[in-house]
Structure 1
Amino acid sequence: MNALTKPDRTIAACGLALYPFALTLPLFGSSNAEPIVRALGIALTAVLLVGAVRRAPLLGLTAILLGTVVAVALVPTPAPWDDDGARQTTLFAFVSADMALGHLVAVRPRREWIVGITLSVLFQAGAIAGFAHPPDLIALNVIALLALLVACMVGLRARERRQHAAALRGQAVAEAVTAERLRIARELHDMVSHSIGVIAIQSGVASRVIETQPAEARAALEAIEATSRETLSGLRRTLVALRRAEPGDQAPLTPGTGLADLDRLVAETGDAGVRVDVVREGEQRPLPPDIDASAFRVVQESFANVVRHAGTDTCRLRVAHGERELVLEILDEGRGAAAGSSGTGFGITGMRERVSLLHGEFSAGPRPEGGFRVLARVPLPGGER
């Protein structure tokens, strides 16, 4: 309620101030008006208090109850109608108070709407007792009570729907935060793991040949420097993208990464001591950015696992561009199961998550004939699988 703007507060105050004056119009505007017309006029006058009911529901309800009771007490008796008929029919004006009570129940804490229910019961029961004949008391009280219960039930239903919608929004926010956290984790893992693998291999080479083969050691150190600079540049781009991204905006963490960078990745893997034989099938064509980036990351992580765990100096990459799907297959003849033990398993998990988000199929495991195989099938837009 406190979120209302200044114009809303002004409208609420003006409505509250004009209500007593507008209430006199249905009372004294015409001495020959039928009681039901007066009752509708009194009820409709409460429209002025909509702003007050929105800002302070309990205050608005109290104002409507007071105004309605006063109107019932002051309504003039038209000549064609008897006193009881006029006053009893005018009690229809309490319908606006019931609507305000329903809103109070829907939006305010329990202690406030319990106070509102109590006030409604007291005001309406008092009005009925003061302006109705004894034979009509029970019927009028029952009608008033039923109307009040209906208003409360409608308010409770609206309250449940609001709470359910809030719970769904909270769940959606939590899921979005988790998904974004996992996305960032995958990007950082894939970005760093390959580079660290290259650096580890090259530093090992440099330490072994630094005295006997200075030229080869120098080449290894240069490869370490280049890889380190590239990794730092990628991390810097990631941090800039995260700082600039708007809430809920999935800004690309590594702009431009895709299968077009395969040649560079193959060269880096070769520098790390693993020669990659690349087999391309089908007609190469531009891919959607999300598929292109994810395909590159799957290949990058697979190469990193081969470098770190396979214990082999060769592997094979097959990139098949079909009409309906993109197929990536990475094979090696190394130690097999060891190639899948990427630390705590984040590498394989990250690849599986990437492919799953694209509604594709992913498998990774030892080959019966030895070595390890990674296979990813990603459906392409416009093709049914």
Structure 2
Amino acid sequence: MRFPRRPHDSHLLALDLAAALLVTAAYAGFAGMPGSGTQPAYTGPVWAGVLVAAVAGLPVAVRRRWPVPAAGAALAGAVAATLLDITREPWTAVGLTLYTVALTTPARRAVPVLAAALATAAAAVLTGEAVLTPAETWSGAAGVTAIVWLVLGGGWAAGVAVRGRRNREADRERRRTDAAITEERLRIARELHDIVSHGLSLIAVKAGVAGHVAERRPQEAVEALRVIEDTSRAAMTEMRRALGVLRTGTAAAPLDPAPGLAALDLLAERARQGGVDVELTVRVPDAGLPAGIALAVHRIVQESLTNTVKHAAPARCRVTVEADPREVRVDVTDDGARDTGRERPGGHGLLGMRERATAFGGTFSAGPRPEGGFAVSARLPQDGTGRTA
């Protein structure tokens, strides 16, 4: 698994280059130092010592671009430096490259690299300390080997830890993205249900009227067909807008404003065409409502009128929308005959209206009236804590 390049990669590469030059300079400095105590003294050509130091240190500069080759080159340089007694501390560069290997390379490749590095380091240190340098003992060589393994293993462990943290962050981001996609799909499903249900209900009513009066009152049938045509066109327009968010590329749907309070008159007129006498009252401050609440009010009224047309027409219906700084109140009542189809709790229409109300921290109720008919009531607080519907 490779992580995407981040905007500050150029700065990281600059830091790697600086670290590589610093490590190389330190190793080259060791190559020119005379022997003192236990510090090894390199007696070969200076150019050869500098070359070995460069092979051991410079791979740090390219460890992010080529992690495994960089680790191999640094390991080769460290082995040469150890066996030639240039320095017994050339393993920091290998630890840095192993950190990057653990961070960016799949485990099936990274684990063999670590195993090879540990085995090679042990062989080189034991050979250099206990065989080529007679003054050292095997116990001392084993101690140096343990320190080298600690450096290499520490770099590896740090890479594994950072990789795990990044994977967890990526998983959390993926879950957030999936949740957002699911929420958007549910929103689109609610929008499509509201659009299609409202339009098809009116179309079904008018189609029945047209079929019933086609022979006796053809003019009335023509009027019904005209309503069907207008309703179909309006539903298609709204559906294209709702589905526009699913499009990709440059041919995206135009960002038309979402329906709000201004479209309530049109909803009432369509319901009247479906045989419902609608009395619409809207009392809202001149400043209007937030777009999300206005859309929720529109959809609640739309679904309520759709149910009235579908289950109660012909009937009278009163729609009242009132708002104050504290809340928005929506009440829709009709005097139609009792129809249990409207009262089923699993219906998508009532469920969708309830979800829209609760999304803003509001309340919703719907049910038959004691005096006959049906009532829908929603309260949406305007305290700004609700989510956009």
Which category describes the TM-score, using the shorter chain as reference length? Answer: 0.7 to 0.9
Q: 1:49 aligns with which of 56, 59, 63?
A: 59
Match of 1:332 in 2: 334
SS of 1:102 mapped into structure 2:
helix
Is this contact kept in 1: 2:56–2:90, CA < 8 A? no
Residues in 2 aligned to 1:158 and 1:309: alpha-carbon distance in whole angstroms: 61
Q: How big is each residue's C-alpha offset from its partner over 1:113-164, in whole Å with a ceiling of 9 and x where there is no partner? A: 2212212212321232123211412322232333333333322222221221
Name the CA shift for 1:374/1:116 in 2 (closer, same or farther; >3 Å).
Answer: same
* In structure 1, distance between residues paired with 2:302 and 2:53: 72
Q: Which residue of 2 aligns with 1:83?
A: none
Assess, with a 3 A threshold, how the Cα gap between structure 1 residues 260 and 4 changes in structure 2: closer, same or farther.
Answer: closer
Say which of 163, 167, 180 aligns to 2:184. Answer: 180
Post-superposition offset of 1:296: 0.8
Pair 1:156-2:160 in alignment? yes
- Contact 1:336/1:370 (CA < 8 Å) preserved in 2? no
Which amino acid in the other structure matches residue 187 of structure 1? E
Output the aligned Cα RMSD. 3.8
Query: Is 1:73 equivalent to 2:73 in the alignment?
Result: no
Structure 2 letter corresponding to 1:169: E
Q: Tell me which residue corresponds to 2:72.
A: 62
SS of match in other structure, 2:171: helix
CA gap 1:50/1:374 in 2 versus in 1, 3 angstroms: farther
Tell me if structure 2 keeps the 8 A contact 1:281–1:321: yes
- Residue 92 (structure 1) shift: 2.9
Equivalent residue, structure 2, for 1:297:
299
**Which residue pairs with 2:29 in the alignment?**
26
Shift in alpha-carbon separation, 1:245–1:284, aligned structure 2, 3 A = farther
After superposition, the C-alpha distances for 1:246-291 in whole angstroms (9 at most, x for unaligned) are: 8xx9x88763411111111111101101112223345353222222
Q: Which has the higher helix share?
A: 1
8 Å contact from structure 1 (residues 195, 227) kept in 2: yes
Q: For 1:140 and 1:28, locate their aligned partners in 2 and report how far apart those are by CA, in whole Å.
A: 19
After superposition, the Cα gap between the structure-2 partners of 1:50 and 1:137, relative to the gap in structure 1 and judged at 3 Å, is closer
Which region of structure 1 is more displaced relative to structure 2, 22-31 or 254-263? 22-31
Paired AA for residue 269 in structure 1: A
CA offset at residue 209 of structure 1?
Answer: 2.4
CA spacing shift, 1:140–1:203, aligned 2, 3 Å: same
TM-score where L is the length of structure 1: 0.78
- Segments of structure 2 that go 5 or more residues without pairing to the other structure are 43-51, 130-135
Asked if residue 117 in structure 1 is aligned to residue 114 in structure 2, the reply is yes
- Identity score, percent: 35
Distance 1:169 1:226 in 2: 45
Mapped partners of 2:76, 2:180: distance in 1 = 49
CA distance in 2, matches of 1:63, 1:311: 84
Task: Please state how far the C-alpha of 1:64 moved relative to its aligned partner.
Answer: 1.0
Select which of 212, 216, 220 maps to 1:208.
212
Shift of 1:94: 0.9
Distance 2:367 2:217 in 1: 38
Q: Aligned equivalents of 1:186 and 1:373: distance in 2?
A: 21
Q: 2:31, 2:368 → 1: CA distance? A: 93
SS of the residue corresponding to residue 63 of structure 2 reads helix
The answer to whether the 8 Å contact 1:276/1:315 transfers is yes
Residue 227 of structure 2 contacts residue 273 of structure 2 at CA under 8 Å; is this kept in 1?
A: yes
Aligned equivalents of 1:45 and 1:125: distance in 2?
19
1:275 is aligned to 277
Write the mapping of 1:79-98 to structure 2, written as runs, cut at 5 A.
Answer: 90-98=87-95
Does the 8 Å contact 2:271/2:277 carry over to 1?
yes
The DSSP-based 3-state class of the residue aligned with 1:121 is helix
CA 1:44–1:359: 2 relative to 1, 3 Å: farther
Q: Distance in 1 between matches of 2:261 and 2:277?
A: 18
Q: Please list every run of 5 or more consecutive structure 1 residues that lacks an aligned counterpart in the other structure.
A: 77-89
Asked if 1 retains the 8 angstrom alpha-carbon contact of 2:312 and 2:339, the reply is yes
> What per-residue deviation string (whole Å, max 9, x for no partner) do you get for residues 270-315 of structure 1?
1101112223345353222222222211211111111112355122
Report if aligned partners of 1:187, 1:253 keep a CA contact under 8 Å in 2. Answer: no
Q: Which among 83, 103, 110 is matched to residue 106 of structure 1? A: 103
TM-score (norm 2): 0.77
C-alpha deviation, 1:194, in angstroms: 1.0
SS at the partner of 1:91? coil
